Copies of this chain bind each other. A is one copy, B any other.
Amino acid sequence: MLINVILSGGAGTRLWPLSTKLNPKQFIPLIEGRSLFQECTRRNKGLVDATMIVLHEDHLPVAREQALSVGLADPIFIVESAPRNTAPAIAFAALEAAPADILFVTPADHVIDVNLHYMQSLSQAVQLAEEGRLVTFGIEPLHADTGYGYIEHINTRVISFHEKPSRAIAEAYLQKGGFLWNSGMFCFRADAYLDALAEFQPTLLRSCQYVWEQKKKNIPVNASFYEMIPSVSIDNAVLEQSSNISVIPSRFNWSDIGSFDSLQQYLTAGDNWNHKNVFLTDDCMQDNFVFNQDGKPIALVGVRDIMVIQTSEGMLICKKGESQRVKEVYNLFTQSN
């Protein structure tokens, strides 16, 4: 059985104040009135046999409602009381699945054009997963992006993983070739992933199993139980350590909407941003981006290359190209609250 595991536990703080802990980016209607979570669910449901959704318990109502609205009446919800990063989230899905089930793991907050390339990549990945490989999806880079990690490869063989690079290094990757964007999407048999955890992260696996067994016995598992689980990404926990890794070099259009700079491209492309009650001097029309969710009047005079995001939560004014730095002000904001 092929199962789409949708990772919906993220808080998306790099998109503050649009995305907040209470209302993270994956559940906000952005693309023609649909959320990224709805887009993900819709995109994959026809391609798989079942859908599992891993998420924080606070978001269960909105996820249930949004899944239903795109025709997914009976997904399997895997509820966490505290977010523990991707390695534990996927472990819960693998424990829930049958050992031979293939898990197609997709973060809820990516933008992807479904086309033939997407189908082909998934098909290749499933084939390798059936052979027991841990498969990751790498995207052929379109530009020297500094917001993504990179995978160095030869065909489906992974040579090494690289952290988010500086601009100079990103440009060198692009020039040299043989580097892919690390998409954060994966495909593997449930037992292959659990075996890898047993080998590289035995403590993490044990604590996930413990929590899982408690829940199966209907013993309430609160946040402090979850806090015992190491908070580690699947990349650090398994992929960078295992030799049983394959990568699918993929050509479908993909973005992780990790910052306002990347979000902006999708919103303006479809003219899908809210310019209600926005007032601009003539010279401000072209080079600025204003998203006015709150609806209170916003006026711009003589400014260039800035992004303005107004929501009920707050107001962000960010130089274009610098939205990776939103976490700096988000940290100041959370410290003061």
Task: Enumerate chain A interface residues (CB-CB to B < 8 A).
Answer: 16-17, 277, 279-282, 296-304, 306, 308, 310, 313-319, 321-323, 325-326, 328-330, 332-333, 336
CB contacts (< 8 Å) of A308 on chain B: these are 317
Contact residue among B298, B310, B317, B336 (Cβ-Cβ distance under 8 Å from A300): B317
Complex contact B301–A319 (CB within 8 A): yes
Complex contact A299–B315 (CB within 8 A): yes
10 more CB-based (< 8 A) A-B contacts, given A303-B317, A303-B319: A17-B297, A17-B299, A279-B336, A281-B325, A298-B316, A300-B317, A300-B318, A301-B328, A301-B329, A302-B319
Q: Shortest beta-carbon distance, A100 to chain B, in Å? A: 48
CB contacts (< 8 Å) of A321 on chain B: these are 302
Instruction: With A279-B336, A281-B328, A328-B281 as known contacts, state yes or no: A301 contacts B316, CB within 8 Å.
Output: yes
Which residue of chain B is the closest to A282 with respect to CB atoms? B328
Q: How far is the CA of A323 from the CA of B280 in the complex (A)?
A: 13
Q: Shortest beta-carbon distance, A39 to chain B, in Å? A: 27
Complex contact A333–B297 (CB within 8 A): yes
CB contacts (< 8 Å) of A323 on chain B: these are 301
Q: How far is the CA of A171 from the CA of B330 in the complex (A)?
A: 44
Q: Shortest beta-carbon distance, A311 to chain B, in Å? A: 9
Contact residue among B296, B299, B328 (Cβ-Cβ distance under 8 Å from A317): B299
Q: How far is the CA of A302 from the CA of B327 in the complex (A)?
A: 12
Q: Shortest beta-carbon distance, A15 to chain B, in Å? A: 12
Contact residue among B298, B304, B330 (Cβ-Cβ distance under 8 Å from A314): B298
Q: How far is the CA of A300 from the CA of B303 in the complex (A)?
A: 14
Contact residue among B279, B316, B318 (Cβ-Cβ distance under 8 Å from A332): B279
Complex contact B302–A315 (CB within 8 A): no
Which residue of chain B is the closest to A332 with respect to CB atoms? B279
Complex contact A317–B313 (CB within 8 A): no
CB contacts (< 8 Å) of A298 on chain B: these are 314-317
CB contacts (< 8 Å) of A17 on chain B: these are 297, 299
28 contacts between A and B (CB under 8 A): A17-B297, A277-B314, A277-B336, A279-B332, A281-B329, A282-B328, A296-B314, A298-B315, A298-B316, A299-B315, A299-B318, A299-B326, A299-B332, A299-B333, A300-B317, A301-B319, A301-B322, A301-B323, A301-B325, A301-B329, A302-B318, A302-B322, A303-B317, A303-B318, A306-B306, A308-B317, A315-B315, A317-B317
Q: How far is the CA of A326 from the CA of B303 in the complex (A)?
A: 12
Q: Shortest beta-carbon distance, A308 to chain B, in Å? A: 6
Which residue of chain B is the closest to A307 with respect to CB atoms? B301
Most buried by B among A282, A316, A321: A316
Complex contact B329–A279 (CB within 8 A): yes
CB contacts (< 8 Å) of A319 on chain B: these are 301-304
Most buried by B among A302, A321, A326: A302
Which residue of chain B is the closest to A310 with respect to CB atoms? B315
Q: How far is the CA of A322 from the CA of B326 in the complex (A)?
A: 27
CB contacts (< 8 Å) of A301 on chain B: these are 316-319, 322-323, 325-326, 328-329
Q: Shortest beta-carbon distance, A180 to chain B, in Å? A: 29
